[in-house]
Structure 1
Amino acid sequence: MGAEQIRRWESGALAHAVSDPFGQGPLPWLRGSENYFDDTGQVVPWYADLARSTGGGTRTADDVHRQIKGFVSPGAAAPGEAIDFHITVDPPQQFSVDVYRIGHYGGDGAAKITTSPRLSGIVQPPPLAADRTVSCHHWWMSWRLQIPSYWSVGAYVAVLTTADGYRSHIPFTVRHDHPADLLLLLPDITWQAYNLYPEDGRTGASLYHAWDERGRLLGEEDAAVTISFDRPYAGAGLPLHVGHAYDFIRWAERYGYDLAYADARDLHAGRIDPSRYRGLVFPGHDEYWTTPMRRAAERARDGGTSLVFLSANTMYWQVGLAPSASGIPDRLLTCRKRRGPGKSALWREVDRPEQQLLGIQYAGRVPEPSPLVVRNAEHWLWDATGAADGDEIDGLVAGEADRYFPRTSLPEHDNRILLAHSPYQDSEGATRHQETSLYQAPSGALVFASGTFAWSPALDRPGHVDARIQQATANLLDRICKRD
């Protein structure tokens, strides 16, 4: 199959989405009308700004024609620092960058913060590929965003739009080191692990997929071992699973939680002092962890800072970060997945199972969403939810699930409880169980693990909101933040 014939349902994004009903991309991050198909059969997503477009609507750029695509370096910066945009535009023409901040904003989901001047777009060189590692580090800088001192910390999305109406996106983070009740950690390492850019049937590769010479999508055994942050995200430019974090952010900001923001690479690089926060929140799918990340999370817990994991399959693969060829730190991600010398492995295969931090660990995929079954409903987490033992919260076990492994050691704890025990059918038709865990470390820190992909979407995603999960999450965060 030639590159021009790549069909969307054969793309890497949808190859993953079949096992994650809450991870399909491009994800709606700015709320508006529903998706619809235009007269050419092309999807016009929720975030298309029809008022600005020419010819009847904006169109999503793709990785074959690269109408407009880009990436940033670094991915997170503080007010007073700069973020550099590297953007390709084909055919060459003017383009603009609208910068939005994710939040509640009266239900809009995001607010426009600034717009760039009209910029001159050029066709950047093709991506470089060596041993399935794809990089665009040789692209010229297109625009430098100097972050003003008055900007709020948070998750941001840059919307790139060409003069003829093609659109793409780039996520980035504005952080600072001021104390806050909660530090939200965006899983940029896991986002990159799933990135198949370019989804062109030839060049692109992730830690899951690559293409053969006939344009067929290959599996993990033929995927990349090392991938680069110096490239756009595939498709619309938003990472797979990015919506999990955005769902939590909208809900938490709506109810006034005091949030600071950082990326997983900030945790890795030692830029985070856990003592400044009452809790660290991991809001989305966060599968790939370096050794420094794990040590930092363990130090946080042991120092009295609580940990909140709102997804499943957390800290599954052990990975390494390395500098780019030009020496910029943490721009290359390596995970050998049991292949080759010095291979990376599952944490549980190097005698450090994730359960020793989380209290539960990854059990498997959930082919069809199933109910979460409440357990220990008298516990304070379920206060004011109306939930009783055995109650079912529909569709809340989805994507992937964690459970307690009795033969695996638990972390040291003063008390521990399982708050859900939910049967579901695996892909072979066998009955498995999902569990939700909470324990208190000797330091007093609480460690919560939801054990399902669907927890964050239940906070603020249309069609998935559940008031019981909203209240339970508030109970947890209020206790961590010591709210009255």
Structure 2
Amino acid sequence: MGTDQIRRWESGALAHAVTDPFGQGPLPWLRGSENYFDDTGHVVPWYVDHVHSPGAIDRAIDRTAPRARDRRAARVPGPRSADDVHRQIKGFTSASAAAPGEAIDFRITVDPPQQFSVDVYRIGHYGGDGASKITTSPRLSGIVQPAPLTADRTVSCHHWWLSWRLQIPTYWKLGAYVAVLTTADGYRSHIPFTVRDTHPADLLLVLPDFTWQAYNLYPEDGRTGASLYHAWDERGRLLGESEAAVTVSFDRPYAGAGLPLHVGHAYDFIRWAERYGYDLAYAETRDLHAGAIDPTRYRGLVFPGHDEYWSAPLRRTVEGARDSGTSLVFLSANTMYWQVDLAPSPSGPDRLLTCRKRRGPGRSALWRETAPEQQLIGIQYAGRVPEPRPMVVRNAGHWLWEATGAEEGDELPGLVAGEADRYFPRTSLPEHDGRILLAHSPYQDAEGATRHQETSLYRAPSGALVFASGTFAWSPALDRPGHRDERVQRATANLLDRICKRV
């Protein structure tokens, strides 16, 4: 298979970039010593995929520390991103979330067989570095694992042998972690996982692992990979949604660099929230689906990123939390659009995710055709935004906009992007004791028609606040280089401070 074809598939973004202008985003940047030099002599941080265009290289250089840029002439070899064609190193965890004192099992394939190591980072602010190295594995012996199993476009690697077991010390902080896998000959991949617990905290951050897996096209090899959006035909052409998988497995690596396509949204929020000292606990959507965590123990649940796929048990749990007084914060758009079911695989419960969408008999998989998402969120998905547009402030006298400097009708550049939500007048609203729209922003859809994005806040009868940003661009505005907006930062702090009883 030619080099051009490999490059076409190694990024993980070919099929889905149109729905998320931020892609995987600037994944956590680390100190200059963690940067490496690619084979052209340019310095590149670890979170940048192996780049091929001069423009991409220059952008990577511009984001590095000055002392790292000064070393660009050293021309030392550095890691290269593994791809899904050669599978130089790829892996996944048997359980993507565990508590301190428990273990995480890693299943990893290495081709050709050789030693490899695992560096474990925790995502956070860390003085602007974005992550901190927590531990490094011993040198491990890598093997070539069997080829992925496929059945009706469902790809699974549950039969891979155990490669490494990480016993999580009891003193580790809760949070979002990334395992960075590196082979002896310099290939690199990533595996995300979560350290969570049921300890009390002000806010529970919910990572959208349902949606992450729905978009996962592993393996992006032009033959066998499939997501809920795409698959390949026998000629290596990318097929659309009508030919995609109906069921996807958690028992497989993430495509490309090994990180979920939309993971940057969550990392943007985490860096910002930890910088300002918010008391966070961590969970995944599967934890709430399975009842592993009681969300009513928290003042608020934060859904930081693209969170499109929800199961019925997950929705019931979140609605129950709201009705018990726990506030809800939705920092993206297109939330809770598709309904999914979970089933066990040979490796354990809730390892298979099914979304039948519009194919075949039975109930619709669209939430809005049975129980519209607006009845929980207050607004719902309106459509894609082809080009970023300004968010237009509405009701600027509301406490959310306090101390932001925003005036009525002000435009916040680029804050309506990716996908947008709005209020649907013909769809019933949730019960509320007060409701307000805080942005009303025009944009043109792909056909050139004028549409509107809206940002919503309501107070449930229980006293819980439910906020929905209605745009993909809110979390990146908190702490992403080139996207930060002080008004969004202040507005988010106003909201969380009120939920956490800081004011």
Query: What range is the shorter-chain TM-score in?
Result: over 0.9
Residues 374/191 of structure 1: CA separation in 2 closer, same or farther (3 Å cut) = same
Q: Aligned AA for 1:355?
A: Q
Mapped pair 1:139 → 2:160: yes
Aligned residue in 2 for 1:345 = 365
Cα deviation 1:147-173 (Å, max 9, x = unaligned): 110000000000000011100000000
Aligned residue in 1 for 2:278 = 257
Residues 44/67 of structure 1: CA separation in 2 closer, same or farther (3 Å cut) = farther
Aligned residue in 2 for 1:279 = 300
Cα deviation 1:308-349 (Å, max 9, x = unaligned): 0000000000000100034x1110000011112345510011
TM-score normalised per structure 1: 0.95
Residues 203/37 of structure 1: CA separation in 2 closer, same or farther (3 Å cut) = farther
- Which of residues 444, 448, 473 in structure 1 aligns to 2:463? 444
Aligned residue runs from structure 1 range 138-177, under 5 A = 138-177=159-198
Q: CA–CA distance in 2 between the matches of 1:316 and 1:206?
A: 17
Residues 407/37 of structure 1: CA separation in 2 closer, same or farther (3 Å cut) = farther
SS at match of 1:180: coil
Aligned residue in 1 for 2:55 = none
Aligned residue runs from structure 1 range 417-428, under 5 A = 417-428=436-447
Aligned residue in 2 for 1:400 = 419
Q: After TM superposition, give the deviation of residue 19 of structure 1 in Å.
A: 2.9
SS at match of 1:101: strand
Q: After TM superposition, give the deviation of residue 275 of structure 1 in Å.
A: 2.2
Q: CA–CA distance in 2 between the matches of 1:9 and 1:463?
A: 27
Q: After TM superposition, give the deviation of residue 36 of structure 1 in Å.
A: 10
Aligned residue in 2 for 1:432 = 451
Aligned residue in 1 for 2:22 = 22
SS at match of 1:74: coil
Aligned residue in 1 for 2:56 = none
SS at match of 1:470: helix
Aligned residue in 2 for 1:377 = 396
Aligned residue in 1 for 2:337 = 316
Q: Aligned AA for 1:108?
A: D
Give ranges in structure 2 of 5+ residues lacking alignment.
Answer: 49-63
Q: Aligned AA for 2:239?
A: L
TM-score normalised per structure 2: 0.91
Aligned residue in 1 for 2:498 = 479
- Which of residues 182, 186, 210 in structure 2 aligns to 1:189? 210
Aligned residue in 2 for 1:8 = 8
Q: After TM superposition, give the deviation of residue 271 of structure 1 in Å.
A: 1.3
SS at match of 1:475: helix
Mapped pair 1:291 → 2:290: no
SS at match of 2:16: helix
Q: Aligned AA for 2:305?
A: G
Aligned residue in 1 for 2:262 = 241
> What's the RMSD between the two structures over aligned residues?
2.3
Judge conservation of contact 1:278–1:305 (CA < 8 Å) in 2: yes
Judge conservation of contact 1:95–1:118 (CA < 8 Å) in 2: yes
SS at match of 2:388: strand
Judge conservation of contact 2:374–2:428 (CA < 8 Å) in 1: yes
Q: CA–CA distance in 1 between the matches of 2:12 and 2:234?
A: 16
Cα deviation 1:332-378 (Å, max 9, x = unaligned): 0000111123455100112x000000000000000100000000000
Give ranges in structure 1 of 5+ residues lacking alignment.
Answer: none
Q: CA–CA distance in 1 between the matches of 2:240 and 2:389?
A: 27
Q: CA–CA distance in 1 between the matches of 2:11 and 2:111?
A: 22
Judge conservation of contact 2:333–2:471 (CA < 8 Å) in 1: yes
Aligned residue in 1 for 2:322 = 301
Cα deviation 1:94-129 (Å, max 9, x = unaligned): 000000000000000000000001000000001011
Residues 306/419 of structure 1: CA separation in 2 closer, same or farther (3 Å cut) = same
- Percent identity, please: 85
Q: CA–CA distance in 2 between the matches of 1:24 and 1:124?
A: 27
Q: CA–CA distance in 1 between the matches of 2:36 and 2:144?
A: 30
SS at match of 2:349: coil
Judge conservation of contact 1:2–1:201 (CA < 8 Å) in 2: no
Q: CA–CA distance in 2 between the matches of 1:125 and 1:18?
A: 33
SS at match of 1:234: coil
* Equivalences, count: 480
Aligned residue in 1 for 2:84 = 63
- Which of residues 228, 237, 245 in structure 2 aligns to 1:207? 228
Aligned residue in 1 for 2:352 = 332
SS at match of 1:448: strand
Q: Aligned AA for 1:22?
A: F
Judge conservation of contact 2:29–2:130 (CA < 8 Å) in 1: yes
Q: CA–CA distance in 2 between the matches of 1:319 and 1:24?
A: 24
Aligned residue in 2 for 1:368 = 387
